[in-house]
Structure formats: C-alpha cells, structure tokens
Amino acid sequence: MINVAAIRMQQFGVQFYQASLTASDIDKIDRFEGEDFAVPAIIFDRLPEDHVVQMFVTINAKHTRLNASHLVTLSGRQLYRDENLATAHDVVRALNDREDSPLYDEIKLLGVGRGRVAQAPLAQELKKLFAADVFGGRRSGDMHEEAKKFFVNYFKQIALVFGGAWNGRKYSIKSASALRAFVRVAPDVIRRLDQEHADRSDFRAIGRAIAPWGRRIGDARFDTEGAWKRSGTTVDSLSKELRLALQYPEGAAV
C-alpha cells in the first residue's frame, strides 16, 4: 500500500485531489531505482463518468493538444458511455484488426500505427449513422455484432467492385473523404438488403446491392490526379454520386 499526500482542490466547479508521487512511491510499484522526482497526478472523487470526460478534455486537450483519435477512443469506449460512439469504435476496431478486412492494419488507432486512415473522422461518421438508428427496425439481434459484420463485408465488396482503385497507388479510394462517403451511403445499401429480405451481413447480397457502382462509378472516379481532383471531390459530392448510382442502376442524368 502506498500513502501519498494529496491536496484537495476545486476547478471548473468540480472538486478533485492533486498529489505528487516520489521515486520511492513508484519503486513500490515498478521497482524503480533512481533519484527522487515528482509526478503530478489528479484523482477524481466519485465524479460521474461524463464529468470525468469533461475534465479530462478540458485539462488535456485544450492545453497539450491531444490527438483527436485519443479522444474518440477514450470518449467512446473507456470513459463516457455514448453507445453510438462505442459502437462506432467497435466497428473501426473490427475493420482494422480483422485479417479478412480490406482495411486490416490500415487505420491509425490512437493516432499511431503505419496506417494512413485516421480513426477519428471515420468514427464520427459512423456515430452519426448509428445515432440515426440505421441498424434498428426488423432485426432484433446485437447491433454491435451486426454492424461489425456488415461493415467488414461491405468494405470487402467495395474492394472487389473497385479492385483496380483499391489495390492501386494513384487512387484516393482509401482517403478519409472516400471512406466517409461509403459509410454515409450505407443506410441506402441496408435498405436495399431489407427490400430483398436478405441478411444485412450477407456478403453476396451486399455485393449485388452495390454492383451498380462498378458500372456507374468505376475505378477512374478515384484517380487522384484525374477525376478525383478535377471534380473537387468532397464527402457530400461522392456520397451523392454513390447514392444516385444505387437509385438508378441502369443509368440516369445526374
């Protein structure tokens, strides 16, 4: 047991304790040997979870500029029980961690990793989707599991439909804007699956639903120095094109 002197303080209307740990204190935990030093610490005294998050963000993010991906993970899963953000975090984890995912090891979790895809914007886009209760309705199973299975299979089919762009180097299909656009039109894909009375995580059914993208959109749309740059692609513009291709699979004026 370690006894540490603490000072009771109040900041932003919330009471907390501030304490210092000496080297001998830490040595009891980690067998650390060295000169004495002080480590500032804050202990929250029976605060509700949302207050803990508010204090954490206020004290840290505004001063030390924490990476936004840290805040998404801490807010969504570890501290603040926002179910929509927690589900979004679970989906991002599944996309990055599952070896059969086309985004395997491609997402920077907690702001680190070799991936080029940032976690925060993808998680925020997913949160909006779950807040709209897209996975509610006729299915009564576990929304977390259904969402993870759907999005892994969804992006697997996207990687097949746009195979040239997905596996090429000169394309922007894995950019934050493109991935967010694919997430944004996911409700349209889910509605199509429901209309066909197909399971929402059915790999082949998802492939049939988004097949028009191969004919109407094509790999060239994601050519970074070509159509992508010429059209000034945004999340809104790309999601509109994807949605119209689903609505008019045989072609229509855009």
Give the type of residue at 201.
S
**Which residues are within 8 A (CB) of 121 and not within 5 positions of it... i.e. 6 or more apart?**
176, 180
Residues 73 and 89 in one domain: yes
Residues 115 and 148 in one domain: no
Q: Measured on CA atoms in the order 144, 150, 156, 158, is the torsion positive or negative?
A: negative
Tokens of 68: 């936004």
Residue 145 is predicted with a pLDDT of 87
Could you tell me the pTM of the whole model?
A: 0.70
Q: Indicate the pLDDT class of residue 200, thresholds 50, 70 and 90.
A: very high
Q: What digits encode the pLDDT tens for the residues 128-179?
A: 999 888 887 655 457 778 999 999 999 999 999 999 999 999 999 999 999 9
Can you give the three-state secondary structure of the chain, one letter per residue?
CCCCCEEEEEECCEEEEEEEECHHHHHHHHCCCCCCCCEEEEEECCCCHHHHHHHHHHHHHHHHCCCHHHHHHHHHHHCCCCHHHHHHHHHHHHHHHCCCCCCCCCEEECCECCCCEEHHHHHHHHHHHHHCCCCCCCCCCCHHHHHHHHHHHHHHHHHHHCHHHHHCCCECCCCHHHHHHHHHCHHHHHHHHHHCCCCCCCHHHHHHHHHHHHHHCCHHHHEHHHHHHHCCCCHHHHHHHHHHHHHCCCCCCC
Q: Averaged over 83-97, what is the pLDDT?
A: 88
Q: Where among 82, 100, 129 does a domain terminate? A: 129
- As a whole number of angstroms, the longest Cα–Cα distance in the chain is 74
For residues 219 and 165, the answer to whether their CB atoms sit within 8 Å is yes
Residues 42 and 67 in one domain: no
112 backbone dihedrals φ, ψ, rounded to 5°: -130, 165
Q: Where among 98, 129, 160 does a domain terminate? A: 129
Residues 137 and 227 in one domain: yes
Tokens of 122: 């993808």
Residues 171 and 254 in one domain: yes
Pairing of strands 14-21, 39-44: antiparallel
Residues 98 and 121 in one domain: yes
Residues 61 and 161 in one domain: no
Residues 178 and 241 in one domain: yes
Residues 155 and 253 in one domain: yes
Residues 125 and 207 in one domain: no
Domains in the chain, number: 3
Residue 83 is predicted with a pLDDT of 80
Q: Where among 104, 129, 154 does a domain terminate? A: 129
Q: What digits encode the pLDDT tens for the residues 34-87?
A: 555 455 555 555 555 555 555 565 555 555 555 555 555 555 545 445 788 888
Cα–Cα distance between 64 and 253 in angstroms, integer? Answer: 50
Residues 102 and 79 in one domain: yes
Residues 187 and 147 in one domain: yes
Give the structural domain span for 4: 1-46
- The better pLDDT of the pair 145, 203 is held by 203
